[in-house]
Every structure is written in structure tokens, then in C-alpha cells.
């Protein structure tokens, strides 16, 4: 057997016969193969692409928690991207592209950026918790999901209230769909809720007692504080009965003690 026969005839396939076919014959044969049919528009619509964030994270050999912490992406946002619940917007896609091209360079740049204590509305952060909150909101998080369903709550501003207490102000639409209801969450009450979280979880009944200003807005205040804890990567929502459960005690303790 010469070299040509060895190269062109392998197994049960004689590739010389294939080479002899015209393009139209190759196309016709492919269409007649039941195991190699082209995808229909309906089939394509039903297919979910692998989220870029997941592909990138796995290529870097990082867990979700490691990737989120390294590149300062809220863990809840990353999980939503990877599970295709939401899509990264244009700035987020650009950020992921930059990470893919230079992961160490972006890491160094991000770490340098967050070394500077930010200010909001002329109010400087004075603790580890406040610094973490200002880094997160509104740079990365501007909305807070409700506990069950409905339009989210929206970040408004950081500012001191009439008692000169630093507060996170947020708003949501009234039932008339026109008026904006504005509420506030004192950082001191976020800290109180964080202390309770370190006991294992924060339930609504406990929250009512330790966060009276926030609770005055009803269940929305509990939802906002809990969602902040989720975005900080220290809690998960366990339902109405169990509230928000501690997920990372070390990180939560650093926020409280720093």
C-alpha cells in the first residue's frame, strides 16, 4: 500500500470517494444525514450560550467567591451573570474583556483604586464597614431586589439626616406609579444588623427591634439591608421565615471590627 492510499483511506472511510463529489453533492448528502441536521430558528432560540463570566472565571482557576473578591464584583451579580438571570451591561462587558486580556494588570489597578477611601455627598467613610458600603453603592450596586417579586428599590444618595447620622437614602415608586417614596437606612442600623447576622442570621422580628428607623419604612428596609449583606458576600436569603443567613463569618467580622 502506497503513502497516498494510507493517507486517504482510514478505517471504513474511503476519502477518495468524498473528494470526487461535487459541492452540491456534498451538501445534498449532509442534508440527508439524520444525525447532522442544521439547527432550526426555534432550536437556536432555545439554546443558552455559556456566560462569558463563567468561562473567564474558570480559565483563571478561581471560585466564584475568589473571582468576585479579586475584581470587586458583587457575588450576587456574578452569580446572576453565570446563571444567565441577567446579562452584563456594556461597561461590565468591557470590564470582563479587560480582565481576560490582562487579569493581573486589572487586579493591581483595582486594588490600587480601592485603597483610596471614597466620599459620597461630601461625607467621608470613617470605618471599614462604611468604606465597604461606599465602594459597593453606587459604584457597583444601585438597586436592591425585593424579597419576593416586584420592581426593585433604587439607591438615591449618601447623606446625613437631621440628627447628623450618615444614612443610605433609597426610593421606590408609589402605587400610583408617579410619586417616589424616599426612605433612609442609618449606617448605625446596618452595623446593628451586622452584629445580629454574626449570631447566625437576621430575621424580620429581630430586625424590627434593633433597626427602628429603617423598620419604620416597613419590610422594604429589611429587604434593602439584607440585599446589601448579600452583595457584600456575607449572607444569603433563606426565605421569609428564616430571613438572611450568615455565609462568611470571617468577612462579616472584618467589616464589623475594622
With CA atoms as reference, report the closest residue to 207 among 240, 167, 251: 240
Mean pLDDT of 218-237: 94
Residue 65 has pLDDT above 80, yes or no: yes
Mean per-residue pLDDT, 7-12: 48
Give percent of the chain with pLDDT exceeding 90: 35
Give the three-state DSSP class for 193: helix
Rg (CA), the chain: 27
The fraction of the chain above a pLDDT of 70, given in percent, is: 81
Q: Stretch 213-232: mean pLDDT, rounded? A: 93
Task: Write down how long the chain is.
Answer: 258
Give me the mean pLDDT over the 158-183 stretch.
86
What CATH superfamily classification does 46-114 receive? Answer: lambda repressor-like DNA-binding domains (1.10.260.40)
Please give the pLDDT value at position 115.
44
Calculate mean pLDDT across residues 225-230: 96
Q: Return the pLDDT at 8.
A: 46
For the segment 204-231, the average pLDDT, to the nearest whole number, is 93
pLDDT, mean of residues 227-238: 94
Q: Which of 46-55, 141-150, 195-204, 240-249 has the lowest mean pLDDT?
A: 46-55
pLDDT band at 47 (very low <50, low <70, confident <90, very high): low
- Average confidence (pLDDT) over 221-234: 95
CB atoms within 10 A of CB 201: 16
Query: What does the CA dihedral 197, 198, 200, 202 come to, rounded to 10 degrees?
Result: -10
Amino acid at each position: 500500500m502506497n503513502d497516498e492510499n494510507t493517507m486517504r483511506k482510514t478505517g471504513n472511510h474511503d476519502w477518495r470517494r468524498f473528494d470526487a463529489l461535487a459541492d452540491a453533492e456534498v451538501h445534498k448528502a449532509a442534508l440527508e444525514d439524520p444525525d447532522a441536521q442544521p439547527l432550526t430558528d426555534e432550536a437556536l432560540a432555545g439554546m443558552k450560550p455559556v456566560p462569558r463570566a463563567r468561562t473567564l472565571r474558570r480559565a483563571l482557576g478561581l471560585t466564584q467567591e475568589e473571582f468576585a473578591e479579586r475584581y470587586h464584583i458583587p457575588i450576587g451579580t456574578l452569580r446572576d451573570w453565570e446563571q444567565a438571570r441577567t446579562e452584563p451591561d456594556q461597561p461590565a462587558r468591557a470590564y470582563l474583556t479587560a480582565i481576560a486580556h490582562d487579569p493581573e494588570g486589572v487586579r493591581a489597578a483595582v486594588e490600587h483604586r480601592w485603597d483610596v477611601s471614597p466620599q459620597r455627598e461630601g461625607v467621608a467613610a470613617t470605618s471599614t464597614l462604611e468604606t465597604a458600603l461606599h465602594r459597593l453603592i453606587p459604584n457597583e450596586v444601585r438597586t436592591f431586589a425585593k424579597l419576593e417579586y416586584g420592581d426593585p428599590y433604587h439607591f438615591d444618595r449618601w447623606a446625613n439626616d437631621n440628627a447628623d447620622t450618615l444614612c443610605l437614602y433609597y426610593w421606590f415608586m408609589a402605587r400610583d406609579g408617579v410619586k417616589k417614596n424616599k426612605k433612609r437606612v442609618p449606617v448605625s442600623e446596618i452595623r446593628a444588623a451586622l452584629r445580629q447576622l454574626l449570631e447566625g442570621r437576621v430575621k424580620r422580628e429581630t430586625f424590627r427591634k434593633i433597626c427602628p428607623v429603617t423598620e419604620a419604612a416597613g419590610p422594604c428596609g429589611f429587604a434593602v439591608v439584607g440585599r446589601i449583606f448579600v452583595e457584600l458576600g456575607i449572607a444569603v436569603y433563606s426565605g421569609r421565615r428564616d430571613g438572611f443567613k450568615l455565609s462568611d463569618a470571617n468577612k462579616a467580622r472584618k467589616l464589623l471590627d475594622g
